[in-house]
Amino acid sequence: MNKVRLNVLGISYSQTQTGAYALVLAEEDGKRRIPIIVGGFEAQAIAIQLEGLKPPRPLTHDLFLSFARTFHIDLLEVTVYKLEEGVFHSKLTCDDGQRIIEIDARTSDAIALALRFKCPIYTTEEILKKAGIILDFEKEAAMSSGSKNEPSSGNIDIPGASFRDELKNNNLEELKVLLDEAVKNEDYEKASLIRDEIKKRRK
């Protein structure tokens, strides 16, 4: 199988499906992008990892990471290997120190785990030919920070423009307190926006 490496470009609210999100994977050495529709829970799990947020309690994918590490199982890579009737199929390639095992997984879960294990993500040239698109430059720039190594969570489930305006009235210390409260309350949508505002202030 001719594998092509992918990077997570970003994730944003889907314009076509209510309550869903668009995860965009980018060809590492090319211009093609693969948009994948994912559910709210999986989008949140991916966005939290992209933002570097630490939930007070482990989410399902964090628990999977801890479980695997406890029993010395490593995730070597994730491969998006099939596209059938609009559905992407993925597999996890795992190593327990004695054998290499492949496990079937939903693509959204596989990506969430790849980010936590910091392992590479691959697909095939066939899938890129079927589903790969070249995004409009302005839209892509808004989704990413301009670097393939710095993916963005995008505007995942934005609480509203008014909340962003409210954040502008807070100083840096107040924003840090708000961020801690949002994470403690597991309100990761707001936490993501607060983190973005803090980053802007520090530039």
Residues 6+ apart with CB under 8 A from 74: 68, 94, 95, 96, 117
Conformational region of residue 154, where left means phi above 0, alpha means psi within -120 to 50, and beta covers everything else: left
pLDDT in tens, 51-86: 888 888 888 999 999 999 999 999 999 999 999 988
Strands 3-13 and 21-27: antiparallel
Question: What does pTM read for this prediction?
Answer: 0.71
Return d(Cα 150, Cα 159) in angstroms, integer.
23
Confidence category of residue 168, pLDDT binned at 50, 70, 90 = confident
Q: What is the CATH topology of the domain spanning 3-157? A: Bifunctional nuclease domain (3.10.690)
**Pick from 84-93, 149-158, 180-189: least confident:** 149-158
Angle at which helix 40-51 crosses helix 107-117, to 10 degrees, equals: 20
Tokens of residue 45, six digits: 């799990």
Return d(Cα 196, Cα 154) in angstroms, integer.
10
pLDDT in tens, 90-134: 999 999 999 999 999 999 999 999 999 999 999 999 999 989 888
Return d(Cα 39, Cα 32) in angstroms, integer.
23
Look at residue 156 in the predicted model and tell me its pLDDT. Answer: 43
Delimit the domains of the chain by residue range: 3-157, 158-203
Comparing C-alpha atoms, which of 76, 148, 59 is closest to residue 114?
76
Report residue 111 CA to chain centroid gap.
7
- Looking at per-residue pLDDT, the higher value among 88 and 173 belongs to 88
Cβ pair 43, 11 in contact under 8 A: yes
Alpha-helical runs (H) found in the chain: 40-51, 60-70, 107-117, 125-131, 137-143, 161-167, 172-184, 188-202
pLDDT in tens, 131-156: 988 865 445 555 554 444 445 555 44
Residues 6+ apart with CB under 8 A from 26: 6, 7, 8, 9, 32, 33, 34, 148
Q: Is 135 in a helix, a strand, or coil?
A: coil
